[in-house]
Amino acid sequence: MNLTLKIWRQAGPDDGGDFATYDVRDISDDMSFLEMLDVLNEDLIGKGEEPVAFDSDCREGICGQCGLMISGMAHGPDVTTTCQLHMRSFSDGETITVEPWRASSFPVLRDLVVDRSAFDRIIQAGGYISVNTGAAPEAHSVPVPKANADRAFDTATCIGCGACVAACPNASGMLFMGAKIAHLGELPQGQPERDSRVVSMVNQHDAEGFGGCTNIGECAAACPKEIPLDVINQLNKDFRKAKKGAH
């Protein structure tokens, strides 16, 4: 298929940036969106022009590096990561707009690349457990009810891609944070730091400039790992209990 791409070009954090229009030809249905951008970049390099900067690492939907706003949708029209989005989701002759995540907490570094280290700082504030490491304990020595184990496992699938922030009109990071709170709060190992974790993470989230949740739900709709909206309820509940010292 042949496509027209309107891509955000920005030379650096202090540049104003603007859209540039490119045509790409003979794109296979089976290519991923990033492979299609690779084709564009090879063409640009061949012509002596600056390739489009974008992030990726695993290209398997597990690292969370590759988020792009594609025609106004975080990660594009399918519920998946940009690297797992295939060109068969688009039509021949289509014009596709490609932008970086738009959130002041994720400043643009260059073209489509944003700085998501605000998420790292939220994790550093409390998204961990402190345990003595050593030999793995016997698997049955810490019983966890199946429902809790399943919920912990499902919420642990958050890859920190930032689509939830990009999709949210408030640029809130609460789905991301709620996924970590739910994951660790379901497990016995997560209990000792449960109160301090939620307070520290929420404080850091707010200090980074992310907005609050107003129950719009765009975050969960855009999440490639289908993290459910109710993790934000769990986060709010844990936060209230921690403030009251009720755990």
185 contact, one of ligand SF4, ligand FES, none, CB 5-8 Å limit per kind: none
Cα–Cα distance measured from residue 21 to residue 96, given in angstroms and rounded to the nearest whole number: 10
Helices and strands counted in the chain (H then E): 8, 7
Q: 132-141: buried (b, 16+ CB within 10 Å) or exposed (e) per residue?
A: eeeeeeeeee
The reply on whether position 164 binds ligand SF4 by CB under 6 A is yes
Picking from 186, 176, 159, 158, the residue whose alpha carbon sits closest to that of residue 213 is 176
Cα–Cα distance measured from residue 144 to residue 39, given in angstroms and rounded to the nearest whole number: 48
φ/ψ of 19, rounded to 5, equals -85, 145
Nearest distance, CB of residue 202 and ligand SF4, angstroms: 16
By CB under 6 A, name the one of 90, 101, 106, 176 that touches ligand SF4.
Answer: 176
By CB under 6 A, name the one of 160, 185, 190, 211 that touches ligand SF4.
Answer: 160
160 contact, one of ligand SF4, ligand FES, none, CB 5-8 Å limit per kind: ligand SF4
The reply on whether position 118 binds ligand SF4 by CB under 6 A is no
By CB under 6 A, name the one of 227, 229, 232, 242 that touches ligand SF4.
Answer: 227
The reply on whether position 161 binds ligand SF4 by CB under 6 A is yes
The reply on whether position 210 binds ligand SF4 by CB under 6 A is no
| Interface residue list for ligand FES (CB under 6 A) | 56-59, 61-66, 81-83
Query: Are the CB atoms for 85 and 229 separated by under 8 Å?
Result: no
172 contact, one of ligand SF4, ligand FES, none, CB 5-8 Å limit per kind: none
Q: What single-letter DSSP state applies at residue 246? A: -
The reply on whether position 179 binds ligand SF4 by CB under 6 A is yes
Burial of residue 60 (number of CB atoms within 10 Å: 0-12, 13-18, 19+): exposed
Query: Are the CB atoms for 234 and 151 separated by under 8 Å?
Result: no
Nearest distance, CB of residue 160 and ligand SF4, angstroms: 5
Nearest distance, CB of residue 70 and ligand FES, angstroms: 13
The reply on whether position 152 binds ligand SF4 by CB under 6 A is no
Tokens (6 digits) for 67: 């988020």
Cα–Cα distance measured from residue 246 to residue 12, given in angstroms and rounded to the nearest whole number: 47
Closer of 3 and 163 to ligand SF4 (Cβ) = 163
Picking from 11, 221, 245, the residue whose alpha carbon sits closest to that of residue 112 is 11
57 contact, one of ligand FES, ligand SF4, none, CB 5-8 Å limit per kind: ligand FES
Contacts to ligand SF4 by CB under 6 A: 158-164, 175-176, 179, 223-225, 227
